[in-house]
């Protein structure tokens, strides 16, 4: 095997080890399913590495080598192992195509999106992720309020009698319902459910509030959390036991009003995906088997994750018909004086949207966030003077430091009394005299206080912050040394860089309404900062250094393509917004091109499973029977190890269906084109 393969496995071990560590730090024990699964995968990776490099185990960073037959000599370390020891933990350690699951588990932590919690399937949304959810809320709230929808909030607890009132509705949810059965040491007489959805919470009150046709339409939405105790493998944002969502519940006088709203809301979901998240989706209607339990029909927007070849339900808008109205007796006096039942809709989207965005746009480096959803659209990274080496920087730190006392800055400059600098001491008095003369002319108060202490001469200068550079002149003339000159000049440029970078950031924020972060931290190298912000997916990195200051330019680096361009400082406020628009559109175009090439048309069963195995979505002619849908699911599962296929949706935009076209699975006359795929 090649060393590249060994390095790849080593990277996977590092990534999986970080996942195991994070799970254990969250308080989970070794008996927890998440921990045991993660540890098992880690052991498999270590065993694989042992085959490639002769490493049996890694304990405390020391490698245990296999003994060679008849060999008493210690084997020489391989170049592969040397390279692995040099591996840094900065950035991503596993490629998105190597192991997508490991990549996703790492990126949501490294990009500071989530942290693990001590209850399986529950995650902490960190500010970087929650801010993105807030942008979605802001957009969607504004749009639904144009339609007359109002926000409200209903309790999260549901009585057992209410939840089980609609048996068809609760049938799909019953295995996932979490129940509260105890209060302290006492058993509750009647268990209380934690809402998996809110139809049965809200609709009894709709029956009280709706009396006349004048009370319609009733348009309510709530932003809340729900709990569904998933038994499948939890995945952050995609499948969790508690998640955030919005759920709209509306009542109308006519089915026509319901139908119009269903499509209007679904188009808003499409806009969230395509306009904010730059994720192309396919709007359509669910099959009878896949529709919302208890509803009349379900519409959906379906996305596609190319790295796994799986479709994913993005958001749904349901026409509930009059089923719930009958169950909860929601009637009204119509305009003719008679009694009628309302028609109802429900619609919802969840934080799954964020996970879809990360999966669709991510790459080997980390996240790639579309500008409209990115909490930070531009990060400004200052670059120190390249001539300032590490050795010089350490000397600079040892030569002086800054302190503050009574609202004044004090710089302590240390003069080492070594032979090369002794002649400079004689010049000290003449320099001070000269500065005093200049200070009187400029009305600057400069107070030199020479102090001799052991082998050091300390020069303490107090000066106004506005005359920072005058102190540098003093130190320069006092020391009169080329190295000192280089150091002081570099520090002056560094301060100037920081001031100018902050000015650029403020200008972009104020005049162009761009979300900017200026990273002037001096305890990290520019390379470390580049990697950090690339993992977090910031759309534009603006690099600014001493040379750029001299040329009045900066460098703009795109996260989507990683291309660089030089931009004049005077043009930054105009160019950055343009570039953000270009990045947003390019990310959508890239994702759409991949989605389109990953969708193929099949008319015969023999081509169906091979297409699925190539990570494709498959469009086929279909007869729309539940029996044929079950047959496809069963046969695709039996004929492939990749898993069963299911209907994703019947797209609204239908290709022409020629007369006489047969269903690809039954041979019966086809009625529609349907999209199939493996799904999350």
| Residues 94, 106 contacting (CB under 8 angstroms) | yes
Q: Containing H/E element for 169?
A: helix 167-171
Q: Distances in Å between the alpha carbon of 39 and those of 31, 109, 594, 651?
A: 11, 18, 34, 42
Q: Containing H/E element for 439?
A: helix 422-442
* Greatest Cα pair distance in the chain: 109
> Residue 124 forms beta bridges with which residues?
115
Q: What percentage of the chain reaches a pLDDT higher than 90?
A: 62
**Helix 127-146 and helix 255-271: axis angle, to 10°?**
140
- Interval 150-194: pLDDT, tens: 999 999 999 988 887 766 656 666 778 999 999 999 999 999 999
Instruction: Report the mean per-residue pLDDT for the chain.
Output: 82
The CA R_g of the chain, rounded to the nearest whole Å, is: 33
Comparing 159-163, 583-587, 622-626, 660-664, the range with the smallest average pLDDT is: 159-163
Q: Report the C-alpha gap between 379 and 502 in whole angstroms.
A: 11
Alpha helices (H) in 536-597, listed in sequence order = 546-551, 572-597
What local confidence, expressed as pLDDT, does residue 673 receive? Answer: 98
Q: Distances in Å between the alpha carbon of 511 and those of 244, 506, 520, 573?
A: 34, 8, 22, 7
- Which residue in 316, 301, 300, 376 sits closest to 537, CA to CA? 376
| Residues 538, 546 contacting (CB under 8 angstroms) | no
Span 284-303, average pLDDT? 96
**If pLDDT is split at 50, 70 and 90, which confidence band does 286 have?**
very high
Q: Distances in Å between the alpha carbon of 272 and those of 141, 153, 360, 536, 621?
A: 12, 23, 15, 21, 30
SS3 content of the chain, % helix, strand, coil (to 5): 45, 25, 30
* SS3 category, 325: helix
Inform me whether the pLDDT recorded for 527 exceeds 90: yes
- Burial label, 494 (beta-carbon count in 10 A; 0-12, 13-18, 19+): buried
* SS3 category, 478: helix
φ, ψ at 448 (rounded to 5°): -85, 135
- Interval 398-444: pLDDT, tens: 554 445 454 544 444 544 433 344 344 344 434 444 444 444 444 43
| Residues 66, 59 contacting (CB under 8 angstroms) | no
Inform me whether the pLDDT recorded for 294 exceeds 50: yes
For the four alpha carbons of 520, 525, 529 and 530, in that order, the dihedral sign comes to: positive
- Interval 26-72: pLDDT, tens: 666 777 767 777 777 777 777 776 666 554 443 333 344 444 444 44
**If pLDDT is split at 50, 70 and 90, which confidence band does 16 have?**
confident
Q: Report the C-alpha gap between 239 and 403 in whole angstroms.
A: 53
| Residues 620, 603 contacting (CB under 8 angstroms) | yes
- Burial label, 300 (beta-carbon count in 10 A; 0-12, 13-18, 19+): buried
What local confidence, expressed as pLDDT, does residue 500 receive? Answer: 86
Q: Report the C-alpha gap between 268 and 141 in whole angstroms.
A: 11
Span 601-615, average pLDDT? 96
- Interval 88-107: pLDDT, tens: 456 898 999 999 999 999 99
What local confidence, expressed as pLDDT, does residue 445 receive? Answer: 42
Q: Report the C-alpha gap between 623 and 644 in whole angstroms.
A: 19
Q: Report the C-alpha gap between 664 and 673 in whole angstroms.
A: 10
- How does strand 55-59 pair with strand 516-519? unpaired
Span 602-628, average pLDDT? 97
Which tokens sit at 503? 């000015």
Inform me whether the pLDDT recorded for 612 exceeds 50: yes
- Interval 226-238: pLDDT, tens: 999 876 789 999 9
């Amino acid at each position: 095997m090649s060393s590249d393969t060994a390095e790849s496995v080593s990277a996977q071990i590092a990534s999986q080890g970080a996942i195991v560590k994070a799970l254990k730090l969250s308080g989970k024990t070794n008996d927890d399913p998440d921990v045991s699964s993660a540890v098992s995968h880690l052991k498999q990776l270590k065993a694989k590495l042992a085959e490639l490099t002769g490493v049996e185990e890694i304990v405390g960073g020391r490698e245990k080598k296999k003994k060679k037959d008849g060999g008493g000599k210690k084997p020489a370390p391989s170049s592969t192992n040397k390279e692995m020891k040099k591996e840094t933990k900065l950035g991503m350690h596993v490629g998105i195509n190597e192991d997508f699951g490991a990549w996703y588990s790492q990126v949501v932590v490294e990009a500071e999106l989530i942290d693990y919690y001590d209850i399986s399937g529950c995650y902490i949304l960190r500010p970087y992720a929650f801010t993105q959810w807030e942008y979605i809320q802001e957009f969607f709230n504004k749009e639904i309020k144009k339609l007359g929808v109002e926000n409200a909030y209903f309790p999260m607890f549901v009585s057992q009698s209410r939840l089980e009132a609609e048996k068809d509705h609760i049938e799909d949810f019953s295995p996932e319902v979490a129940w509260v059965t105890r209060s302290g040491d006492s058993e509750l007489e009647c268990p209380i459910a934690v809402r998996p959805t809110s139809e049965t919470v809200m609709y009894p009150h709709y029956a009280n509030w709706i009396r006349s046709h004048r009370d319609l339409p009733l348009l309510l939405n709530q932003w809340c959390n729900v709990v569904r105790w998933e038994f499948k493998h939890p995945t952050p944002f995609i499948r969790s036991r508690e998640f955030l969502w919005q759920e709209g519940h509306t009542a109308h006088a006519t089915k026509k009003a319901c139908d119009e709203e269903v499509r209007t809301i679904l188009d808003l979901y499409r806009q969230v995906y395509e306009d904010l998240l730059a994720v192309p989706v396919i709007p359509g209607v669910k099959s009878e088997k896949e529709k919302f339990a208890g509803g009349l029909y379900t519409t959906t927007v379906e996305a596609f994750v190319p790295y796994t070849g799986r479709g994913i339900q993005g958001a749904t808008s349901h026409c509930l018909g009059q089923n719930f109205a009958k169950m909860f007796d929601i009637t009204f006096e119509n305009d003719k004086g008679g009694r009628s039942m309302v028609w109802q809709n429900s619609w919802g989207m969840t934080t799954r949207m964020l996970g879809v965005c990360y999966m669709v746009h991510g790459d080997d480096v980390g996240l790639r966030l579309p500008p409209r959803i990115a909490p930070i659209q531009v990060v400004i990274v200052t670059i120190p003077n390249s001539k300032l080496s590490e050795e010089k920087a350490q000397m600079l730190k040892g030569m002086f430091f800054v302190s503050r006392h009574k609202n004044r800055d004090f710089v302590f400059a240390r003069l080492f009394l070594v032979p090369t600098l002794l002649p400079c001491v004689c010049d000290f008095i003449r320099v001070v005299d000269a500065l005093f003369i200049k200070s009187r002319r400029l009305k600057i108060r400069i107070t030199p206080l020479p102090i001799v202490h052991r082998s050091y001469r300390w020069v303490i200068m107090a000066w106004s912050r506005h005359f920072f550079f005058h102190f540098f002149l003093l130190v320069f003339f006092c020391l009169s040394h080329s190295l000192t000159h280089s150091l002081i000049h570099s520090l002056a440029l560094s301060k100037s860089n920081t001031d100018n970078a902050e000015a650029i950031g403020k200008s972009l924020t104020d005049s162009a309404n761009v979300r900017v972060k200026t990273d002037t931290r001096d305890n990290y190298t520019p390379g470390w900062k580049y990697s950090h912000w690339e993992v977090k997916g910031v759309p534009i990195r603006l690099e600014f250094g001493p040379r750029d200051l001299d040329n009045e330019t900066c460098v703009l680096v795109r996260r989507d393509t990683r291309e660089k361009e030089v931009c004049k400082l005077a043009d930054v406020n105009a160019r950055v917004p343009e570039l953000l628009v270009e990045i947003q559109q390019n990310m959508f175009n890239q994702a759409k091109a991949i989605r389109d090439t990953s969708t193929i048309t099949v008319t015969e069963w023999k081509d169906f499973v091979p297409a699925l195995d190539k990570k494709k979505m498959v469009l086929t002619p279909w007869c729309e029977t539940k029996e044929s849908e079950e047959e496809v699911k069963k046969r695709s599962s039996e004929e492939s190890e990749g898993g069963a296929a299911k209907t994703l949706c019947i797209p609204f935009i239908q290709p022409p269906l020629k007369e006489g076209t047969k269903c690809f699975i039954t041979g019966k006359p086809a009625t529609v084109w349907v999209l199939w795929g493996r799904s999350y």
